[in-house]
Structure 1
Amino acid sequence: MYLGLDLGTSGLKAVLIDENQVVAASATAPLAVKRPHPGWSEQDPWDWITAAEAVLSELQTEHPNLLAAVAGIGLSGQMHGATVLDSTDKPLRPAILWNDTRSHKEAAELDADPRFRSITGNIVFPGFTAPKLAWMRTNEPELFSKAARVLLPKDYLRLWLTGESVSDMSDSAGTSWLDVGARAWSSELLGATDLSEAHMPRLVEGTEVSGTLRPDLASRFGMQRAVVAGGGGDNAASAVGMGTVTPDAGFVSLGTSGVVFVSNARFSPDPASAVHAFCHSVPGQWHQMGVILSATDTLNWFSGLVGQEAAKLVDGLGSELNGPTGLTCLPYLAGERTPHNDAEIRGAFVGLGHETDAGVMTEAVLEGISFALADNLAALSSAGAAPRRLMAVGGGSRSSLWLKMLATILDMPIDVPQDGDFGGAFGAARLGLIAATGASVTDVCTPPPVAASIDPVASLSEAYKSAYARYRALYPAVKGLPR
């Protein structure tokens, strides 16, 4: 058996697969985000451990024989979070998460240093890890002076599991400290934030062994001393789960954030496009992705506003695509990454009328997220990525209406996998299998069977192009609004 642990923003998910990669069991535990100030987003690292204990305890209670047979563990997780530890490995403060924008000034200052784009191949986004430490250096100097180690969220979970300070290439590529082409820490960039390689975890590939399960944890949960794979950042691990490991293969993720992901055989940076160019979680591969910060997060925000469950709001729209609503939603609730790199922009509804109801606004939210993903695809195209079709993943992909809309707006077929879990936890379990058995990436990381292919609705193409043009024209106006 092989265990995948995916440390997300809203919860931790565990998946058990057998040697044939059939999911045998799963468990989840919720996580909450704290927002003590506008633009801030934090979690207590110990909450991650509590969630891991909860899912392992559930699996031990309900599937003790399966858990006892686990030979390999893989890790996936939310990227960019700054988990800053003292010399005893105690967190100095709550972890600053990927969607926290407090360090936008520090990010701009680091990005103005040409070494960062040259070495990392990426813009220094406010959500990345390096500007968070630069913010701490300025605003929390006493805590910064005590920093002995900086870990990404899933790697803090690894520290608990194995006692080892290790990270993988894909997650580390989102720190702004990694030489992404060379797949190694850059002492030059670390020095620019008054840190050194001594503060960083050891690096391994996502398929390599990073350590073994601690004896006390193995005894506590009735497990053997399983090996723990390097794992991957959430999107790279999801790509492993989806079999997106060959050049130009791609997927679109409709999760808390939104992602258009394309696998590459070589490092292909284009910082000016605001496309991310990162290491893949399999050796010798890289990937490009466009990222929007608020995908289903926007839908969930609107759901809370009107007091109806998000799924019910979407289901209430039916399955027939009838064309644009005429209402434009800009889903910039927490700023935006690709293509704008704008931490201060905020969202808007434009075109409200007396006739506007919750259904129209729900559909406008789906349109706005889809238009933002179209911006991502355009940026990827300018950066040289050329996917011919995309596989859909994430909670939003359960809506056939949304997938029809997205396929039409992107002007690209979207494949829907057969029922199953092919996300980050499944991908992490695959990485655990490879680390434990030495199996090849190509043998393990195959795409799931396709249940349906959603083609663009040609008769609505021009109408959505016009609506997309209105959407794009609104960005400069909203950008100029005072907050």
Structure 2
Amino acid sequence: MIGDSAAGGKGSGSNEHGLIISADFGTSGVKIAALDRSLSAIATATCRYPLSLPGPDRAEQEPEDWWSALREGIADLAAQIPDLSARASALVFCAQMCGVIPVEQSGRPLRPAIVWLDKRAGSLSRAMNGGFPSLAGYRFDKLYTWTRIANGAPSHNGMDPPAKMLWLKQNEPDVWDAATRLLDVKDWLLHRATGRFVTTADSANLTWMMDTRPGREGWSPLLAGRLGIPLDRLPEIVDGTCTVDGLLPQAGTELGLAAGLPVIAGAGDVVATAIGSGATGDGELHAYAGTSAWLSGFFPSRRIDIFHSYATISSSVNYRPLLIATQESAGSAFAWAARLFGGGESGAARDDDASLEALYAGIGPLRDSDPLFVPWLAGERVPVDDDRLRGVFTGLSVGHDRNALLRSVLEGVALNMRWALSKVARQKGLKAGLPLPLVGGGAVNPHFAQMLADALKLQVVVRQPRLAGVRGAGAIAAAGLSWYPSVEAAAATLTQGEALTYDPEAEGMARADRRAALLDRHRPKLISLYR
């Protein structure tokens, strides 16, 4: 662990009016908040940045765009809180995961970041994983070693970092040879802020080069050696609550914050969101519906389901196991449908928040005659890991209008999450029947929230869904500053305050059962078709 979790005179947490500046870097932009000691957001800002899609299955971003958005967002906070710099006690990040940024020793990126959406290495990943004899697409000996040491293995779709790293090695050898470090998104931001090359266990675990066995946590020379990745190109693993270092003078000048401000290691977006959901007890699940979707929850020990492509990863705090069952398309499917069907008479097709809210507000109730939708627009991960799968409408007729298709898209995501839950629910220690916190941008759509409650037969609870990652990262920082005795104690404050609740309704549950039964018959054929 680098630094002391309560290091630094300024920012030590002694100031009762101190603030944590927490930034959540997503696929399309960064959400930033100034959080007080109760982890309430007293000021927020959102700044967007571009996503480049330079070719089939390719997705890239410029790291400096993240930093520019951070600078703009903090300036926005400072306009709302004139004494922000004086009151700031710490800066903490959470960010999208599974990115690869090759950098020089100075931290300068050698090329655009290959972000999580990128699947260019899908065929390479399948070749890397496969061989004879195999199980679930993995050669037996490879699967045994990976699952024993790392509690999982690289996905077949090429989205995990090792396949991306090997793609760089094979296709951009000049970049590979010049790279001093291979970083995830949050790692690059931490270096830009402090000059230190560090990561947290959640990002390290998803490289599948980390030993996650209790008492042995750290980089695995065996796994890295098998992939041909030099260990010295990987950053040091630190706990999420630790102070990496103080903010560099240049970074402080750019951000309008004091040099030396403690920068907390934080977490990837999955861990921060899990904490921010408030469901931090063992066996408690939360649901996320942002660009992608997931079901997730903490467990007391490592778990894995090879056949349905999910497992626990080591979280950034005390290596606590966090189960994550990820699906590729949720909000991205809603936005896609809005762009396709939302033009109306004006012909405009926008997917910003206001346009989405206005569009979906008038779609009307679900009908049994609506077409069925399978939301595999970017392939799928859980419970079937295959980047070749694609989205499908089935049962279309000339009588269907755009509202029927919009309803089907929302329902399709909800039923896809039901499909994932049907596998996750088999885990020993899962606390069944609890209210399900729903976070992410999709949670603000009341039609979707009710459909999810009906599909899962659970009460869905929505509480500040867009700030779950920001507040979760803030809880990590608050524990690091000793404002709370633990991250879990800090997270307990996040379940307070007003919430919207969606109770499953008898008619909706019956309809979901009927529609899910139809999808259960269609899916095997669709999977076979795309394979």
TM-score (norm 1): 0.94
User: How far apart are the structure 2 equivalents of 1:385 and 1:80?
Assistant: 28
Contact 2:439 2:466 in 1 (8 A): no
Question: What is the correspondence of 1:35-434 to structure 2 with a 5 Å cutoff?
Answer: 35-111=53-129, 112=138, 113-114=142-143, 115-125=145-155, 126-181=158-213, 182-220=216-254, 221-223=256-258, 225-306=260-341, 307=343, 308=349, 309-318=355-364, 321-384=365-428, 386-387=430-431, 388-389=433-434, 390-417=436-463, 419=464, 422-434=467-479
User: How far apart are the structure 1 equivalents of 2:512 and 2:466?
Assistant: 31
Change (3 A) 1:84 1:158: same
SS of residue matched to 2:74: helix
Where do 5+ consecutive residues of structure 1 fail to align? none
Where do 5+ consecutive residues of structure 2 fail to align? 1-18, 130-137, 344-348, 350-354
Contact 1:262 1:287 in 2 (8 A): yes
* Partner residue of 1:31 out of 26, 39, 49: 49
Other-structure match for 2:5: none
SS of residue matched to 1:343: coil
Contact 1:117 1:124 in 2 (8 A): no
Alignment RMSD, CA only? 2.0
Deviations 1:250-277 (A, max 9, x none): 2111110011111112222233321131
Other-structure match for 2:352: none
1:435 aligns with 2:494: no
User: How far apart are the structure 2 equivalents of 1:166 and 1:217?
Assistant: 17
Cα offset for 1:477?
A: 2.8
Change (3 A) 1:239 1:482: closer
Deviations 1:262-302 (A, max 9, x none): 11122222333211311123225211121111101011111
* Partner residue of 1:470 out of 518, 523, 529: 518
Give, as a single letter, the amino acid of the residue that structure 1 aligns with 2:41. V
User: How far apart are the structure 1 equivalents of 2:49 and 2:176?
Assistant: 26
Change (3 A) 1:58 1:64: same
Give, as a single letter, the amino acid of the residue that structure 2 aligns with 1:281. S
SS of residue matched to 2:23: strand
Contact 1:190 1:197 in 2 (8 A): yes
Percent identity over the alignment is: 26
Give, as a single letter, the amino acid of the residue that structure 1 aligns with 2:282. P
Contact 1:71 1:225 in 2 (8 A): no
Contact 1:265 1:284 in 2 (8 A): no
SS of residue matched to 1:4: strand
Give, as a single letter, the amino acid of the residue that structure 2 aligns with 1:478. L
Cα offset for 1:154?
A: 1.3
Matched length: 480
Indicate the larger mover: 458-467 or 364-373.
458-467
Give, as a single letter, the amino acid of the residue that structure 1 aligns with 2:115. L
Contact 2:277 2:438 in 1 (8 A): no
Contact 1:77 1:234 in 2 (8 A): yes
Other-structure match for 2:491: 445
Give, as a single letter, the amino acid of the residue that structure 2 aligns with 1:165. F
1:2 aligns with 2:47: no
Cα offset for 1:401?
A: 2.1
Other-structure match for 1:22: 40
Cα offset for 1:420?
A: 7.2
SS of residue matched to 1:48: helix
Deviations 1:238-259 (A, max 9, x none): 1222222210122111110011
SS of residue matched to 1:231: strand
Change (3 A) 1:75 1:270: same
Contact 1:242 1:422 in 2 (8 A): no
Cα offset for 1:28?
A: 1.6
Change (3 A) 1:23 1:482: closer
User: How far apart are the structure 2 equivalents of 1:396 and 1:325?
Assistant: 24
TM-score (norm 2): 0.86
User: How far apart are the structure 1 equivalents of 2:320 and 2:269?
Assistant: 16
Indicate the larger mover: 234-243 or 435-444.
435-444
Contact 2:451 2:508 in 1 (8 A): no
Indicate the larger mover: 340-349 or 58-67.
58-67
User: How far apart are the structure 2 equivalents of 1:191 and 1:153?
Assistant: 23
SS of residue matched to 1:64: coil
Other-structure match for 2:6: none
Cα offset for 1:385?
A: 5.7
Change (3 A) 1:385 1:376: farther
Contact 1:254 1:392 in 2 (8 A): yes
Change (3 A) 1:193 1:370: same
User: How far apart are the structure 2 equivalents of 1:385 and 1:379?
Assistant: 14
Cα offset for 1:353?
A: 0.7
Deviations 1:205-250 (A, max 9, x none): 1112222211233345143522122211102101222222210122
Contact 1:85 1:148 in 2 (8 A): yes
